[in-house]
Structure 1
């Protein structure tokens, strides 16, 4: 069966799944009055990803990762039943289809890799989330996509990752949002099934140990007419690490400018049975911005302290100010600086076109090999969303990266992403 036939067959399956769900939602809404809360979308995402490693550091000798794939993301969200406690159901359907790959270019994070070293032709997943709402408090059970300082939502490949468990959020007090959760497994971005939770230390996956759960508790308080917010969070990857976070964000209009600050501090140590041994990390980041018209300028500083790299759940990025999807600048004792410039071409009468150029430099890394580690990265991103005509809503994004290091592999990276979303309901 050709790749086009596979794509057609599975796309029909996803859309067929959406029809009874949306019909059920609409029918229930007419009887019970929650049609305004119902929605259904289908996003098509075409993703080309390439990484060249000009010098290989480590056991993996593969010199290039390059794959091309087509993804479909179906999201069906019901409203809530009427009454003091409202109930609802959300369903997510994911489909990834290989367009190009070979055994010498796998492991881009777009597609699963089989034991024979070849990428899967396709992979899919359907999962549900049951939800209940009382006033401004919501409980969700099932498939979850939390986006927290201690567990970010890292939708940076073909299909989004997710977790399975229970999540509670409450906004009963004006300006204050509280959240808590217990997650017992994860669906990785390039897999169909569920897996145990693993950790990363800096940029190194720690697959030799798995946790039974990730627990979190925290809140964000918005004040000063929503121009300021304070965050306080705790996360625990059971028997591996426990981590605290405090953050402050503020924006301040000054004449024609808007000045911004994003400050954060993490502290982590080993937890329970210490499956990865002793962990000792403190991380500070600051990202300052100045915006005027279509221009936004940034400068950032980030520092790692303690005897360990920054810990996080595999395979996530984090809200660290100098972390980007290629290098993390979060290894032991690392200090890093960032300069960044964004431009929104709406200011020149070209809405939908945006650019970002960024440079980050890090040093003082404790490599354990008797020398100081250093790394640097230059990123260029260009994005455009078609504003009118037949292709209105089509998003195009190009990313080019050059990353260099004396203790890990150099990377030259290119991404091309096309996306379009249909509103089904």
Structure 2
């Protein structure tokens, strides 16, 4: 690749330049406003855990996140020496290619506070082609994913449970087919550059994959693993392919619904040992916010007796540029401690939103690695929350592949009155976020849930999974997230064609 050609492919990453000067300072900048005694944090999950299609769950029209398996995952051991460069082992563009197919049955029943019910049943399929890399010092390749969905139940009025067009119509359409993924890529050593529509794993753009088909983002990314245990990544995206639409749309914030033209990020994860992981990232939503993430996870002991695991997660968000979503000065953190004894794991987690604004993130992403982000996010101004979670692996009792996770979360102290005064009129774009039933958002709420998951262990359907979600959320009348019940069944059947 000529120098001028490389510069052309890297041009979309230019917005990252200002972030380079603050990346190493981000942990200090974030913690400068953090409460005393709270350290920086990391996701309690690996990217592989987040990528599982049965994980992410969201209350319809809101943005709560949960990964049914992630909190108990241990990180794989980092390499003890620098690995052989992957590009030098390339099998070639076609010899190294793969074609995979995923069939998903997504059915959902929602009961809202107003006693409305919404039902959806959609069959989604993903035919994903991933090429290898051509041989030589620089390898080239391409990827594509053909997404299709068949609606068996549901129609207008049920939001993103089924697909609609960008203007909100088309809810009665029966089937959809479109390219959800497409990119060209280049690899040097263990570093990969991609440009196109892709799925991105990081603390800001983790895919919110809780419908029949996942979302993707259009942009340019670069990731590398040139040193033992260290993974670095950077990228810049300009559009999103939503879960519920067949066309690209503008980026926007998940809660404020504020549109922006570009989102850029950089950072990395370092596996110090099989039991210790540190993460540090910085990002910018143009003219909306600059956001930093830092994290730490550590485990000690043996599950045959007791294995202790701790996770700390921290986000710091500040308004940026034209401040299209107003003044933002928010710190959000969570601390979780879990104890595992053989098949059972019990976790206790505390979370706090410090600031006068909601903790927000990029729409269509699950960019909230805070421990108590479950059915809802517990992300209102000043809100605190406490969670008790239990997970049992029934493989230890003769039922391999079956896990059951149960949890209870209580949230209190939400008070948006200081900021709501600035958005007192319904004409304000943020009125619906900061006001509920005629008063500034405040109050308390709680939820209880259970997720049994079974993964087939052998045979032709090995790796297929059945995931049942049962959740109840109860809130006072002036809290931002309404009371609801969710009953969801997701069946995934993956096939490796070649």
Partner of 2:377: 328
- The 8 Å contact of residues 332 and 365 in structure 1, kept in 2 or not, is answered as yes
What are the superposed Cα offsets for residues 315-343 of structure 1, whole Å, 9 maximum, x if unpaired? 3332111002x211111111000110111
- The 8 Å contact of residues 55 and 409 in structure 1, kept in 2 or not, is answered as no
How far did residue 35 of structure 1 move? 5.6
Partner of 1:74: 127
Alignment of structure 1 residues 191-206 onto 2, 5 Å: 191-200=245-254, 204=255, 206=256
Answer yes or no: is 1:54 the counterpart of 2:54: no
* 2:253 counterpart SS class: strand
Unpaired segments ≥5 residues, structure 2 = 1-89, 418-438
* 1:346 counterpart SS class: helix
How far did residue 348 of structure 1 move? 0.8
What are the superposed Cα offsets for residues 383-421 of structure 1, whole Å, 9 maximum, x if unpaired? 112334565443211100000111231010000111111
- Looking at structure 1, the residues matched to 389 and 462 of structure 2 have their Cα atoms a distance apart, in angstroms, of 29
1:252 aligned residue (300, 319, 334): 300
Answer yes or no: is 1:412 the counterpart of 2:471: no
- Looking at structure 1, the residues matched to 107 and 208 of structure 2 have their Cα atoms a distance apart, in angstroms, of 18
* 1:347 counterpart SS class: helix
Cα separation, partners in 2 of 1:253 and 1:314, compared to 1, 3 Å: same
* 1:172 counterpart SS class: strand
Unpaired segments ≥5 residues, structure 1 = 1-30, 57-62
Alignment of structure 1 residues 267-282 onto 2, 5 Å: 267-282=316-331
1:109 aligned residue (135, 150, 161): 161
Alignment of structure 1 residues 225-244 onto 2, 5 Å: 225-244=273-292
- The 8 Å contact of residues 358 and 379 in structure 1, kept in 2 or not, is answered as yes
- The 8 Å contact of residues 163 and 246 in structure 2, kept in 1 or not, is answered as no
- The 8 Å contact of residues 67 and 108 in structure 1, kept in 2 or not, is answered as no
- The 8 Å contact of residues 66 and 108 in structure 1, kept in 2 or not, is answered as no
- Looking at structure 2, the residues matched to 371 and 148 of structure 1 have their Cα atoms a distance apart, in angstroms, of 30
1:178 aligned residue (227, 232, 236): 232
Partner of 2:143: 90
* 1:233 counterpart SS class: strand
Alignment of structure 1 residues 374-389 onto 2, 5 Å: 374-389=444-459
Cα separation, partners in 2 of 1:402 and 1:286, compared to 1, 3 Å: same
- The 8 Å contact of residues 182 and 198 in structure 2, kept in 1 or not, is answered as no
Answer yes or no: is 1:309 the counterpart of 2:368: no
**TM-score of the superposition, structure 2-length normalised?**
0.73
Partner of 2:336: 287
Cα separation, partners in 2 of 1:145 and 1:293, compared to 1, 3 Å: same
Cα separation, partners in 2 of 1:116 and 1:134, compared to 1, 3 Å: closer
- Looking at structure 2, the residues matched to 391 and 160 of structure 1 have their Cα atoms a distance apart, in angstroms, of 22
What are the superposed Cα offsets for residues 281-327 of structure 1, whole Å, 9 maximum, x if unpaired? 10011122111221111110100001111010113332111002x21
- The 8 Å contact of residues 314 and 370 in structure 2, kept in 1 or not, is answered as no
Cα separation, partners in 2 of 1:123 and 1:396, compared to 1, 3 Å: same
Partner of 1:99: 152
Partner of 1:121: 174
Higher RCO by CA contacts (8 Å cutoff, separation 6 or greater): 2
How far did residue 130 of structure 1 move? 0.9
How far did residue 359 of structure 1 move? 0.7
Cα separation, partners in 2 of 1:152 and 1:394, compared to 1, 3 Å: closer
Cα separation, partners in 2 of 1:371 and 1:98, compared to 1, 3 Å: closer
* 2:396 counterpart SS class: helix
More strand by share: 1
RMSD: 2.0
